[in-house]
Chains A and B, each alone.
Chain A
Amino acid sequence: MTDILQALLSGLALGGVYALVALGFSITQTTTKTLNFGQGEFLMAGALVAVSALALVGGKGGAPLVPSDVTITRYALAILVVLGFLAALGVLMFLTAVRPFVHSGGMSWIMSTIGFGILLQNSALMIWGPGTLVLPSPLGESVIRIGGAGIRAQELLVIAVSGIVVLALDHVLRRTRIGKAVRAVAANPDAAALMGIDVRAFVIGAFVLSSSLAGLAGVLVAPITTASAFMGLGIALKAFSAAILGGLTSPRGCIAGGFILGCLEAGVGLWRDEWREISMFLLIIVVLVLRPAGLFGRAEFEKV
């Protein structure tokens, strides 16, 4: 029983990260029908910039961070720095790697966003090198016991933040005028522009938000995984799977997809290690056959 509770808690902690990154995929998909395939590298940039920001504040130079360097205030400041940096990076990527191709109708943006990610990764290798950097959690490393199962405070933070972010986003998209405008831009940019909506601003905003979310995920996950130039790809792949599973166009779907995949990964691990990834991708295939738009996605009709 404790084992199952443990798997559930561990799964939610893993799933929270997948969900945050999956949301980033969803946001650009709904507004521009493009995806940022460099999302994992944005996450990596967020984590590494946070490590450097904290090292700078703590006056550490090149030495590894120790728990006393990371107070809650400093960590919050690091998050703000990362959000700002990643927002700028999102705009830069949109202008250089998405906008030139978005109306050409082809698939060029897939390659250009992947390329932008590779560019980021290699820049990170130049700046931070290939090693892993430790970012201690501002909430300490002690284990919190829930019904015999253990979880760390940082993992609870990941679950809480992804929950809050998705609720907020869901509210904005469904209940506010901004949300309505976003949906209008997604449905028909030309008509939206005629209605007086600043389409360009919304599209840039989508990339800013999507990149910032990846950066936020990076800062949140680094105390659990450590930060390195190679940390992004694995997480981004699972996050993308989560988005597909839950429904790429639905924020609720993305978060559900993230948590389902996380729990599946931890739960199947109780039984067989080899089956962890097999079962994840089997589930995705089954869901896509039965519900092509994902668990929460609405089927799209393309008028020809």
Chain B
Amino acid sequence: MRSTFRLPALRRLAAALAATLLTCAAAAQDIKIGFNADQSGTGAAELGVAARHGFELAIEDINKAGGVLGKQLVGVIRDDTGHPPKSIQNMTELIDNEKVAAVIGPTNSGNALAWLHIPQQKKVPVIVPVATATEITRRYANEPQNFIFRISMVDREQVALLVAYAIKASKNQKIAIIGDATGFGQQGIKDLTEVLALHGLERAAVAKFAPKDTDMTSQLARIRESGADTLIVYGLADANAQLLRSMEKVNYFPTTLGTWGNMSTALLEIAGPKLSEHIIFATSIAENSSPRAAALAKRVRARYPKLATFVSAAQAYDAVMVLAAAMKKAGTTDGAKVAEALDTGIPETQGVVKTYTKPFSKADHEALEVSDFRLARWKAGQVTAYEDDITKTLTPADFKK
């Protein structure tokens, strides 16, 4: 009895051991790329999930085309749930234990700012596909080598587009600003005021709301009083939805502009499909912007039917493509050499947002800038590129920042 039991057990153990050894051997040949972003915690989680799908699809495409330096890419996914301590822990684990060659992430600016020093010290290149805080790529700009790159929207650049459009859209040149009372909204109000001043304009009115406010009718009454016919909003999607609902209450609908944070199903669900069409916002790409975008959106949606924030999928996809091109050019996965390749320029790389020729330089670690951005809005429950007579007349000279 006993021997008949034992033998298969041993055999199974041996087989398992052999299999482990085999995967280890295979793993040694792979290039690991980390992905660390909020995919479940905060209101930005949708951006993180979409980005993860873009990240995974890019890796699949690269591997299908033969991989990088004769090796396959392997994605190592971590969810930081939007909490900075968790994000820091993920970062250390990815770099020290998983020995990733580079990291794509995160979604939340606060988390990026919490761990920037880790990849910077350990010389691991990071490409940020979502978080927008201006400081992220600038903190180490004066170091001998800056390991933090970004292919995403940047706060100040979005503001440049919004103001340029607002000035052409406003008939009486009265543009009001409203923002939430957090650091995000206050920085936005400051940026907007400064960029308006570059155009020689003063804001017609400025108002604030708390992130959890549900009634902004008093603020809107003041803005209407100022005579403003255009309003730029710097808040997160759920508060912006409440602002739209308050507009309906006081029956005052100025031309309303906002940041890309409005690409969240929260806006759609709280404000309803009709009201949510009223706000026009900045984005780098919409699903209907190009055939390449439409094709990627279709592939992401097959895995993630709820997709509302295609833009972050496209940006994460491009981040992997650019990273792979830099590794090929450097001929190695060594962090310092890859970062140098990113700094000095990569061979032309076809992305989804755009084609990258020299996306970064030593001084500028932003791949996208205001001229790569466009306007979009919700239409029938989908983020749709927005064009009118004004958007067609916008030229680079209109963008001041």
What's the least CB distance linking B200 to chain A, in Å?
26
From residue 301 to 329 of chain B, which have CB atoms closer than 8 A to chain A?
none
Q: Cα distance A267–B207 when bound, in Å?
A: 14
| Chain A CB within 8 A of B122 CB | no
Question: Per a CB cutoff under 8 Å, which of B40, B212, B217, B218 touches A234?
Answer: B212
Given known contacts A3-B221, A130-B42, A132-B238, A224 and B214 CB-to-CB distance under 8 angstroms: yes
| Chain A CB within 8 A of B93 CB | no
Q: Cα distance A157–B372 when bound, in Å?
A: 48
Q: Cα distance A64–B207 when bound, in Å?
A: 32
On chain B, the residues within 8 Å of A6 by CB distance are: 217-218, 221, 249-250
| Chain B CB within 8 A of A95 CB | no
| Chain A CB within 8 A of B61 CB | no
| Chain A CB within 8 A of B84 CB | no
Query: Chain A 147-184, CB within 8 Å of chain B: the 1/0 string?
Result: 00111100000000000000000000000000000000
Q: Decide if A273 touches B219 in the complex (CB within 8 Å).
A: yes
Interface size class of A (residues with CB under 8 A): 20 to 34
Give the most central of B219, B249, B266: most A CB within 10 Å: B249
Q: Decide if B209 touches A134 in the complex (CB within 8 Å).
A: no
On chain A, the residues within 8 Å of B43 by CB distance are: 131-132
When C-beta atoms are compared, the residue in chain B nearest to A17 turns out to be B214
Q: Decide if B266 touches A143 in the complex (CB within 8 Å).
A: no
| Chain A CB within 8 A of B133 CB | no
Question: Per a CB cutoff under 8 Å, which of B219, B222, B248 touches A150?
Answer: B248
Q: Cα distance A129–B38 when bound, in Å?
A: 13
What's the least CB distance linking A233 to chain B, in Å?
9
Q: Cα distance A269–B208 when bound, in Å?
A: 9
Q: Decide if A131 touches B45 in the complex (CB within 8 Å).
A: yes
Question: Per a CB cutoff under 8 Å, which of A129, A150, A267 touches B40?
Answer: A129
| Chain A CB within 8 A of B270 CB | yes
What's the least CB distance linking B19 to chain A, in Å?
36
| Chain B CB within 8 A of A206 CB | no
Query: Chain A 217-251, CB within 8 Å of chain B: the 1/0 string?
Result: 00000001110000100100000000000000000
Question: Per a CB cutoff under 8 Å, which of A149, A151, A274 touches B208?
Answer: A274
Q: Cα distance A149–B251 when bound, in Å?
A: 9
Stretch at the interface among A7-15, A21-29, A73-81: A7-15
What's the least CB distance linking A136 to chain B, in Å?
9
What's the least CB distance linking A7 to chain B, in Å?
5
| Chain B CB within 8 A of A266 CB | yes
| Chain A CB within 8 A of B215 CB | yes
What's the least CB distance linking B203 to chain A, in Å?
14
Please count how many residues in chain B sit with their CB below 8 Å of the partner chain's CB atoms: 30
On chain B, the residues within 8 Å of A152 by CB distance are: 245, 249
What's the least CB distance linking A121 to chain B, in Å?
15
| Chain B CB within 8 A of A285 CB | no
Q: Decide if A134 touches B218 in the complex (CB within 8 Å).
A: no
From residue 24 to 54 of chain B, which have CB atoms closer than 8 A to chain A?
40-43, 45
Q: Cα distance A268–B218 when bound, in Å?
A: 8
| Chain B CB within 8 A of A72 CB | no
Interface majority SS (helix, strand, loop, mixed), chain A: mixed
When C-beta atoms are compared, the residue in chain A nearest to B82 turns out to be A130
What's the least CB distance linking A107 to chain B, in Å?
29
Give the most central of A134, A149, A151, A271: most B CB within 10 Å: A134
| Chain A CB within 8 A of B272 CB | yes
What's the least CB distance linking B397 to chain A, in Å?
35
| Chain B CB within 8 A of A190 CB | no
Query: Chain B 217-228, CB within 8 Å of chain A: the 1/0 string?
Result: 111011001000
| Chain A CB within 8 A of B269 CB | yes
What's the least CB distance linking B89 to chain A, in Å?
18
On chain A, the residues within 8 Å of B45 by CB distance are: 131
Q: Cα distance A269–B216 when bound, in Å?
A: 9
On chain B, the residues within 8 Å of A129 by CB distance are: 40
From residue 34 to 57 of chain A, which have CB atoms closer than 8 A to chain B?
none
What's the least CB distance linking A240 to chain B, in Å?
16
Q: Decide if A151 touches B269 in the complex (CB within 8 Å).
A: no
On chain A, the residues within 8 Å of B248 by CB distance are: 143, 150
Q: Cα distance A2–B23 when bound, in Å?
A: 72
From residue 262 to 277 of chain A, which have CB atoms closer than 8 A to chain B?
266-271, 273-274
What's the least CB distance linking B130 to chain A, in Å?
17
Q: Decide if A266 touches B215 in the complex (CB within 8 Å).
A: yes
From residue 236 to 267 of chain B, which have CB atoms closer than 8 A to chain A?
238, 245, 248-251, 265-266
Q: Cα distance A150–B245 when bound, in Å?
A: 10
Q: Cα distance A228–B362 when bound, in Å?
A: 44
Q: Cα distance A239–B219 when bound, in Å?
A: 23
Q: Decide if B249 touches A270 in the complex (CB within 8 Å).
A: no
On chain B, the residues within 8 Å of A198 by CB distance are: none
Given known contacts A130-B41, A131-B45, A132-B266, A267 and B249 CB-to-CB distance under 8 angstroms: no
Q: Decide if B41 touches A273 in the complex (CB within 8 Å).
A: no
What's the least CB distance linking B385 to chain A, in Å?
25
On chain A, the residues within 8 Å of B270 by CB distance are: 132, 134, 226
Given known contacts A130-B42, A266-B218, A267-B218, A273 and B269 CB-to-CB distance under 8 angstroms: no
Q: Decide if A7 touches B249 in the complex (CB within 8 Å).
A: no
What's the least CB distance linking A60 to chain B, in Å?
13
On chain A, the residues within 8 Å of B225 by CB distance are: 3
Given known contacts A132-B238, A273-B208, A150 and B249 CB-to-CB distance under 8 angstroms: yes
Question: Per a CB cutoff under 8 Å, which of B208, B209, B218 touches A10?
Answer: B218
Q: Could you write out 5 A-B pairs with CB less than 8 Å apart?
A: A130-B42, A131-B43, A132-B270, A226-B238, A273-B219
Question: Top 7 A-B pairs ranked by shortest CB distance?
Answer: A269-B218, A150-B249, A3-B221, A273-B208, A134-B269, A10-B215, A270-B218
Instruction: List 8 additional A-B contacts (Cβ < 8 Å) besides A10-B218, A273-B219.
Output: A7-B221, A130-B40, A132-B238, A132-B270, A143-B249, A143-B251, A234-B212, A274-B208
